[in-house]
Structure 1
């Protein structure tokens, strides 16, 4: 009886060893392990060898855990049920068989409790807190077990692969790639829970949205570009450069659509002779033309490789759409990069809780975010406008005449146009309307669905999620 109890303790201990080893190796920082291995740590080298074929390692551990559990249950049922039944009713009793069966069930349940608590839960919690240390400590045992169980694991793997092929499933199709949507979802959920900083989440979202932008969507429109014309004299060029203070200027021939070069002011200001002819020879470089449909990420890598940080954007008819610089592309990733002393091109001024004064060039997304306006998804996904002035023009159905005022409204905002200049809305007053009760209910339901979706996603990899949480503790 004592030997049987001792055997159960040993089997539960082995179960605990293998369960903790599984979590420790999975949760260990792979980069740290590789660094230790490069520095000559033999234990780290063993762990790296095991994790190179993670499926084989996990199969080996699972076989060891299963064997320990099965042996424990078998020995317990055989060793304890009959002696316990004899103690309760006597071996010669007519109820001995029934009592023995009941004792077997009770012993199995009790053993399962101790196996789960001491053989699974506690070891895994310990492993989550110190994955690297425990992995290194158990590296020798794990290496021995991987060699000892290799034939059995091979047999099980071949059997499982054969059955999968019978059902038309390729065993090799075991890709566990995480999609962009899943990463963005995890980052957003982490931001909401406080484990990821809001700015970090915003940067992650912008990285994945970067390639979705075309150059034509983010370039500086021709209306806002300061051009130099070949027909103008040196004094006009100097005044334009001093007043606008840009790094690059498109130089045009007969009209705006005829760009013949790009003036680099870094070279221009170093010239002693700023005569027009000398400037054209020394400071003007050939223009780089790109299509407005070119993806922003393609242009980013092209600029990085060619070191040409200024490009002229052409529309489908070969006319000038605008210009784009590396600075513009970086702003897509990190937000507005306003230089010291530079005034913003737009203003968003709060009047009261629901009323704001906004200039026409204010970005659409920034206005609705600051005012906390919850527009429908179809409104947010439109590509017809980038500024709030463009959004108002769409609401009006036309561009207001210069010097005129106008009013428009929808279910979400009321807009009063205060100033129009050069066919562009310069200033407007926006009043946010209270949200309808039905809209608030829809938002609550959408948030609940989002939380459910995230919880379902996290259930797919519980060990990794728990480990990351405990590591932070």
Structure 2
């Protein structure tokens, strides 16, 4: 054959190898989420690609048959195509005994370089850059190759499956999407500038709602203002004036003896109409929604949705009231500072190395702000005050401190045994690796 004919055959082999190389990378790298979106939009090729990804044995067998066959043919044709011409050229410059070996090496190098550059490197980089588009274009020709080579495919694929079963090696990849995968995508989006920091934190909070207890978002019992059945009209007016809430719990002397709740708007209407505010005989007391303290934020939100309420009393297994949670509390737990009014932030940065933290701040918010992976035995407490009690093994006092994960947590304000505020400072020295408590 002439040089032109040999060049044409080599170009055809390079084109064939390019097809198999692009198919291999594109179908392996194509994202299933994107392919499912395309399939839902009516693209039948996306269904075909998903089918090959689900059962990749036939696909990989055909690709390897094609690549190996083309590589062997390329070596044979290339050596016979270029060696005589290179030898003829070198015969004028080199001794006769050096010409055969040198011409063979140069011919081998030339053919190998052409295949590496045009049949392997460039096609694979193109396929990696846009895997879904390439996979959709090549899936039908690849299925045709699988059909043509089906007997050989079945033979090699069957032998491979047999060896996998003997060695107990899984032959299919697990494409289940985990929460870690979603977090990784959000982190990548934040690094790329697609998401800002607040959006990333809000989305992470949504995914964490199933694991965060509702008690982390509630108003604790000591902060609840309630009306008692024994209060006279003067006392009721004073409590309402001192605590301008939309709803008030109605109890029989103590908070744990809940009788219901009243809407402050209805009480105002009764005052305007010069009616009595005697709660014992009043029809304004409504049944109070009560939820257990074992619910997560997600479950509490579902309860609000299904029962069409916007608040609920949180009660433990001993029928003791732990607090009250509202829809706004749940919303704040997800959206954080986006819905907090000025002055309501529970974590206030003094500078880049210190923060003032409210004692009832959920531990998840502390972890996020300080970028700490986890707290020790975090299942035993829900707030930063609980963390201090757990680490100190006692009721904290002012100036008590705990050092952990490169931070010093110091109690700066106590209110009747309650940790009201802490000062968190970054420890400059990184030599400390174990948590330490100071009394």
TM-score by structure 2 length?
0.74
Residues 112-191 of structure 1 mapped to structure 2, 5 A cutoff: 112-129=112-129, 134-135=134-135, 137-138=137-138, 141-169=141-169, 171=171, 174-185=173-184, 187-188=186-187, 191=190
- Once residues 245 and 104 of structure 1 are traced to their aligned partners in structure 2, the CA distance between those partners, rounded to angstroms, is 94
- Once residues 16 and 266 of structure 2 are traced to their aligned partners in structure 1, the CA distance between those partners, rounded to angstroms, is 74
Counterpart position of 1:407: 399
- Once residues 305 and 68 of structure 2 are traced to their aligned partners in structure 1, the CA distance between those partners, rounded to angstroms, is 54
Cα drift, residue 160 of structure 1: 1.4
Structure 1 residues without counterparts, runs of 5 or longer: 38-43, 401-405, 444-473
More off after superposition, 354-363 vs 204-213: 354-363
Select which of 274, 289, 308 maps to 1:287: 289
Counterpart position of 1:48: 47
Structure 2 vs 1, CA of residues 424 and 80 (structure 1 numbering), >3 Å: closer, same or farther?
same
Structure 2 vs 1, CA of residues 345 and 223 (structure 1 numbering), >3 Å: closer, same or farther?
farther
Cα drift, residue 175 of structure 1: 2.0
Counterpart position of 1:33: 38
More off after superposition, 269-278 vs 331-340: 269-278
Is the CA contact 1:227–1:251 (under 8 Å) kept in the aligned structure 2? yes
- Once residues 66 and 242 of structure 1 are traced to their aligned partners in structure 2, the CA distance between those partners, rounded to angstroms, is 86
- Once residues 116 and 152 of structure 1 are traced to their aligned partners in structure 2, the CA distance between those partners, rounded to angstroms, is 27
- Once residues 420 and 267 of structure 2 are traced to their aligned partners in structure 1, the CA distance between those partners, rounded to angstroms, is 34
Structure 2 vs 1, CA of residues 195 and 33 (structure 1 numbering), >3 Å: closer, same or farther?
same
Counterpart position of 2:71: 69
Q: Which is helix-richer, 1 or 2? A: 1
Is the CA contact 1:268–1:274 (under 8 Å) kept in the aligned structure 2? no
Counterpart position of 1:424: 418
- Once residues 415 and 367 of structure 1 are traced to their aligned partners in structure 2, the CA distance between those partners, rounded to angstroms, is 14
Cα-Cα RMSD: 4.5
Counterpart position of 1:455: none
Structure 2 vs 1, CA of residues 137 and 175 (structure 1 numbering), >3 Å: closer, same or farther?
closer
- Once residues 104 and 155 of structure 2 are traced to their aligned partners in structure 1, the CA distance between those partners, rounded to angstroms, is 32
Counterpart position of 1:258: 257
- Once residues 170 and 129 of structure 1 are traced to their aligned partners in structure 2, the CA distance between those partners, rounded to angstroms, is 28
- Once residues 159 and 360 of structure 2 are traced to their aligned partners in structure 1, the CA distance between those partners, rounded to angstroms, is 66
Local SS of the residue matching 1:335: helix
Counterpart position of 2:344: 344
For these two proteins, the number of residue pairs brought into alignment is: 418
Is the CA contact 2:35–2:132 (under 8 Å) kept in the aligned structure 1? no
Local SS of the residue matching 1:255: coil
- Once residues 397 and 364 of structure 1 are traced to their aligned partners in structure 2, the CA distance between those partners, rounded to angstroms, is 19
Is the CA contact 1:212–1:295 (under 8 Å) kept in the aligned structure 2? yes
- Once residues 265 and 52 of structure 2 are traced to their aligned partners in structure 1, the CA distance between those partners, rounded to angstroms, is 55
Cα drift, residue 202 of structure 1: 2.2
Cα drift, residue 184 of structure 1: 2.9
- Once residues 433 and 132 of structure 1 are traced to their aligned partners in structure 2, the CA distance between those partners, rounded to angstroms, is 46
1:210-256 residue CA offsets vs partner (Å, 9 max, x unmatched): 32222334432211222232333456445544543444433323422
Structure 2 residues without counterparts, runs of 5 or longer: 435-439
Local SS of the residue matching 1:407: coil
Is the CA contact 1:263–1:285 (under 8 Å) kept in the aligned structure 2? no
- Once residues 80 and 394 of structure 2 are traced to their aligned partners in structure 1, the CA distance between those partners, rounded to angstroms, is 85
Is the CA contact 1:414–1:432 (under 8 Å) kept in the aligned structure 2? yes
Cα drift, residue 81 of structure 1: 4.7
Counterpart position of 1:303: 304
Cα drift, residue 332 of structure 1: 2.9
Counterpart position of 1:232: 231
Is the CA contact 1:310–1:323 (under 8 Å) kept in the aligned structure 2? yes
Counterpart position of 1:219: 218
Is the CA contact 2:224–2:323 (under 8 Å) kept in the aligned structure 1? yes
Residues 273-422 of structure 1 mapped to structure 2, 5 A cutoff: 275=277, 281=283, 284-290=286-292, 292-336=293-337, 338=339, 343-344=343-344, 346=346, 348=348, 350=350, 360-361=359-360, 378=375, 381=378, 383-384=380-381, 386-387=383-384, 391=388, 397-400=394-397, 406-409=398-401, 412-413=407-408, 415=410, 417=412, 420-422=414-416
